[in-house]
Amino acid sequence: MLLAAGFLRPADAAGFTATVQAESATLAGGAVVATNHTGFTGSGFVGGFTDGNKGTAAVTAAVNVPAAASYDLSLRYANGTGSAKTLSLYQAGTKVRQLTLPPSANWNSWSDLHTTLSLPAGSNQLSYRFDSTDSGNVNLDRLTVTDLPGGGPTPDGALEAESATLSGGVVVATDHPGFTGTGFVGGYTDANKGNAATTFAVTAAKAGSSTATLRYANGTGVAMTLSLYANGSKVRQISLPATANWDTWGTAAEAVPVNAGANTIAYKFDSADSGNVNLDNLAVAAPTDPPPAGGAALEGSFLSGGTTVGTSITGYAGSGYVTGFTAVGGRAIRTVNLLAAGNAQTTLRYSNSSGSTKTLSAYANGVKVGQVSLPAASGWATVQQTLPLRAGLNLIGYQYDAGDSGNVALDDLAVAGSTDLATRGATVPYTEYEAESSSTNGVVIGPDRTYRTVASESSGRRAVRLDNAGKYTQFTLTKPANSIVVRYSIPDNAAGTGITAPLGVYVGGAKVKDLSLTSAYSWVYGNYPFPNDPGLGGGHRFYDEVRSTLPSYPAGTVLRLQNDTSTPITIDLIDTEVVAPAYSMPANSVDLTAYGAVSGSGDDTAAFNAAVSAAKAAGKTLWIPSGTFDLTARVTIDNVTIRGAGMWHTTVRGNAGRGGFFANGGAVQLADFYFAGDVRYRDPDGSVTTDAALEGKFGPGSLIHNVWLEHSKVGLWASSGTTGLYVAGVRIRDMFADGLNLNTFSGDGSPVTNSRVDQSVFRNTGDDAMAMWSFSSAVADCAFTFNTAALPALANGGAIYGGNGNRIEDNLFSDTVYTAAGITISTWHSAQPFSGTTVVQRNTITRAGGFNTDWNSSQGGLWIYAEGREITSPVLIRDVDILDSTYQGISMSWQKNVTNLTFDRVKVQNTGTFGIDIQVAGSATFNNVTVSGTLAGGLNNAFGFTLNRGPGNSGF
Q: Reduce the DSSP state of residue 435 to 3 states and report it.
A: helix
Which residues are 712's β-sheet partners? none
- Type of residue numbered 33: V
Backbone angles phi, psi at 163, to 5 degrees: -100, 0
Instruction: Check residue 645 and report its DSSP letter.
Output: S
Q: Which of 439, 577, 436 is nearest to 57 (CA)?
A: 439
- 402-428 burial, b for 16+ CB within 10 Å, e for fewer? eebbbbbbbbbbbbebbeebbebbbbb
Q: d(Cα 378, Cα 384) in Å, to the nearest integer? A: 18
Q: d(Cα 842, Cα 183) in Å, to the nearest integer? A: 38
Q: Judge whether 19 and 52 are in contact, CB under 8 Å.
A: no
For residue 84, the model assigns a pLDDT of 81
Which residues are 274's β-sheet partners? none
DSSP calls for 439-462: EESSEEE-----TTSTGGGSGGG-
- Report which secondary-structure segment, H or E, holds 839: strand 838-846
Which residues are 463's β-sheet partners? 445
Q: Which residues have CB under 8 Å from 790's CB, separation 6+?
A: 459, 762, 763, 764, 769, 797, 812, 813, 814, 815
What's CA 37's distance to the chain center, in Å? 27
- Report which secondary-structure segment, H or E, holds 922: strand 922-934
Q: Judge whether 914 and 931 are in contact, CB under 8 Å.
A: no
Q: d(Cα 725, Cα 366) in Å, to the nearest integer? A: 13
Q: Judge whether 661 and 688 are in contact, CB under 8 Å.
A: no
For residue 17, the model assigns a pLDDT of 72
For residue 855, the model assigns a pLDDT of 92
For residue 500, the model assigns a pLDDT of 98
Q: d(Cα 201, Cα 613) in Å, to the nearest integer? A: 62
Q: Which residues have CB under 8 Å from 167's CB, separation 6+?
A: 195, 196, 197, 199
- 682-711 burial, b for 16+ CB within 10 Å, e for fewer? bbeeeeeebbbbbbbbbbbbbbbbbbbbbb
Apex 209 CA angle, 204 and 215, nearest 5: 80
For residue 293, the model assigns a pLDDT of 40
Q: d(Cα 85, Cα 79) in Å, to the nearest integer? A: 8
Q: d(Cα 123, Cα 269) in Å, to the nearest integer? A: 40
Q: Judge whether 844 and 883 are in contact, CB under 8 Å.
A: yes
| Helix, strand, coil percentages for the chain (3-state, nearest 5) | 5, 50, 45
Backbone angles phi, psi at 80, to 5 degrees: -90, 15
Backbone angles phi, psi at 610, to 5 degrees: -65, -40
Q: Which of 886, 904, 8 is nearest to 447 (CA)?
A: 886
Apex 41 CA angle, 37 and 43, nearest 5: 80
For residue 948, the model assigns a pLDDT of 95
Instruction: Check residue 103 and report its DSSP letter.
Output: P
Which residues are 821's β-sheet partners? none
Q: Judge whether 276 and 189 are in contact, CB under 8 Å.
A: yes
Which residues are 203's β-sheet partners? 262
Q: d(Cα 458, Cα 464) in Å, to the nearest integer? A: 10
Radius of gyration of the chain, Cα coordinates, nearest whole angstrom: 28
Average pLDDT, consecutive stretches of 10 residues, N- to C-terminus, the chain (956 residues): 26 58 89 91 92 90 75 84 87 82 86 77 85 90 74 72 93 89 93 95 79 91 91 86 87 81 93 94 73 59 96 84 97 96 94 96 97 94 95 97 97 90 96 96 97 98 98 97 98 97 97 98 96 96 98 97 98 98 97 98 97 98 98 98 98 98 98 98 87 98 98 98 98 98 96 98 98 98 98 98 97 97 97 96 97 95 97 96 98 94 96 97 96 96 94 94
Q: d(Cα 409, Cα 323) in Å, to the nearest integer? A: 5
Q: d(Cα 714, Cα 814) in Å, to the nearest integer? A: 20
The dihedral through the CA atoms of 654, 645, 330, 257 has a sign that is: negative
For residue 665, the model assigns a pLDDT of 97
Q: d(Cα 677, Cα 174) in Å, to the nearest integer? A: 67
Backbone angles phi, psi at 93, to 5 degrees: 80, 0
Q: Judge whether 54 and 476 are in contact, CB under 8 Å.
A: yes
Q: d(Cα 697, Cα 724) in Å, to the nearest integer? A: 11
Number of other CB atoms surrounding residue 836 within 10 Å: 14
Q: d(Cα 248, Cα 871) in Å, to the nearest integer? A: 55
DSSP H helices in 370-468: none
Q: Reduce the DSSP state of residue 842 to 3 states and report it.
A: strand
Q: Which residues have CB under 8 Å from 95's CB, separation 6+?
A: 88, 89, 131
Q: d(Cα 56, Cα 608) in Å, to the nearest integer? A: 55
For residue 156, the model assigns a pLDDT of 62
- 915-940 burial, b for 16+ CB within 10 Å, e for fewer? bbbbbbbbebbbbbbbbebbeeebbb
What's the predicted TM-score (pTM) here?
Answer: 0.74
Torsion angle defined by CA atoms of residues 419, 425, 431 and 432, in that order, rounded to the nearest 10 degrees: -160
Number of other CB atoms surrounding residue 508 within 10 Å: 9
End-to-end CA distance of the chain: give it in Å, rounded.
Answer: 38
Whether the bond between 447 and the residue before it is cis, its omega within 30 degrees of 0, is yes
